[in-house]
Amino acid sequence: MPISDFRKKKLLYVFNVFFEQYKKTYESMIQIWDGLRQRADANKDGQVSVEEWASMWNEYAKNPENALEWQTQYLRFMFDLEDASGDGSIDVDEFISVCSCYGLEPSECKEAFQKMSCGKKEVNYEQFVALWKQFFTSENPSDPGNFIFGKTKF
Ligand SMILES: [Ca+2]
């Protein structure tokens, strides 16, 4: 069956949307991974072990203001992912839809959102930055920053 102009236009539209989005996401992930590997892969075996990962975040916790470039990119990446609408803040529906993709129950994600936002409707970038630091540095299980990935218990 020949492809009509109408179908060509539809396919072209999806092509652009799919590959633009995919390329953007892929390039950020590659940059993040490269940065991570350079810093975390202490024994240079091309892999990042749990110990290497943990000790790198322990370094970060000593001075979060001085985060590595890839850590800042990772933070931005996660915020942009959770702010699905791109309006500059994360609301509960966006949060649930993104975090439940990692296999969490929507009810847990909802609870996590309420805890991280301290009952507010939205979390903006500035607030997210503070919560992010808390996630990687806090030893207190009830700090709001612990809930930024949708999980309520560790
Ligand atoms: Ca949003």
pLDDT of residue 7: 92
Kindly give the distance from the C-alpha atom of residue 149 to the centroid of ligand 1, in angstroms, as a whole number. Answer: 16
Q: pLDDT at residue 144 above 80?
A: yes
More confident residue, 18 or 146: 146
Per-residue pLDDT reduced to its tens digit, 75-93: 999 999 999 899 999 999 9
What are 7-65's pLDDT values in tens digits? 999 999 888 877 877 788 888 889 888 888 888 888 888 888 989 889 889 999 999 99
Distance CA 120, CA 115 (A): 9
pTM: 0.82
Give distance in angstroms: CA of 91 to centre of ligand 1.
6
CATH architecture of 68-154: Orthogonal Bundle (1.10)
Ligand 1 centroid to residue 124 C-alpha, Å: 9
Residues 6+ apart with CB under 8 A from 47: 41
